[in-house]
Structure formats: C-alpha cells, structure tokens
Amino acid sequence: MSTAGLLTTLVGAFTFPFLICMCWGKLVDKYGPLGGWLAAGFIVGTMWTIAHALPGVGISTTQTVVNNLIVQGQDAPWVDMAWAAGTGVYVNSIYNGGKVGKSLPTLIAVILGGIFGGVVLGLIGK
C-alpha cells in the first residue's frame, strides 16, 4: 500500500468513530429514538459512501483504478468500518474515564459473538 493510501485509510478509519462520538449522543438527546435512527442513517451511511462507494474519492493506484478513502484489496490490509467504530468508541470511552475491567465481560461477549457469526457465515455462506 502506498503512503497516500495509508493516510487516506487512517483518515477514514478515524473520521467514522469521531463522528459517532461527537454527533450520535447529541442527536439521541435532542430527538430521542428518532435521533438514533437519524444518526445511524446519516453517520454510518455517509461514512460508508465516502469510504467505499464514491468513485474519485481517495487515491489512484493506477491510471484507471481509483480507490476510495479506505483502501482495500491487493497489498492493503482488510479494514472493516465496524473495527474502526468499535475501536475508536472503546478508546474514547477509556480516555473519558471508562473502566477497562468493567468492560471486559462485554468485550469478551463481543469477540465470542464475532467468532460465532464468522463460523456460521463460513458454514452457510457458500
């Protein structure tokens, strides 16, 4: 992966949890459950579009192939937006005074749920 690809991927992976931490709670506080739905649509939808679906956003690795903000594929790491969101929100929570020990049961459940989901998808997804 090129330096430009690395930088755009980091920016994309940072921007998503940043928007979640800055906007989601405020939308829920102001509009209640509807604010959560609005946040999900606007934040997740917009970031997915910018990160993966807009041609011409990001860097060009060849003359004809244009990658999006988050570079994936050959010679690039696999980056999923859920990893970026989960990691960013978790680190933000710890930074703002959250307790790591208190979060371990939930973190273990999330990891086991991800493994279980991956196994099920691997078995029935073909």
Per-residue pLDDT tens over the stretch 9-66: 788 888 889 999 999 999 999 999 999 999 999 998 888 888 777 665 555 555 444 5
Task: State how far the alpha carbon of 20 is from the alpha carbons of 46, 56, 65, 104, 112, in Å.
Answer: 12, 25, 30, 22, 24
Residue scoring higher pLDDT (88 or 74): 88
Q: How confident is the model at residue 121 (pLDDT cuts 50, 70, 90)?
A: confident
More confident residue, 10 or 67: 10
Contacts of 72 (CB under 8 A, 6+ apart): 52, 78, 79
- Token reading at 84: 């970026």
Report pLDDT for 64. 43
* Average pLDDT score over residue span 78-93: 82
Would you say 81 and 6 are in contact if contact means Cβ atoms under 8 Å apart?
no
pLDDT of residue 23: 92
Place of tokens 């690809």: 5
What pLDDT shows up at residue 34? 95
Residue 31 confidence (pLDDT): 95
Mean pLDDT in residue range 91-98: 89
Non-local (6+) Cβ contacts of 60 within 8 A are 66, 67
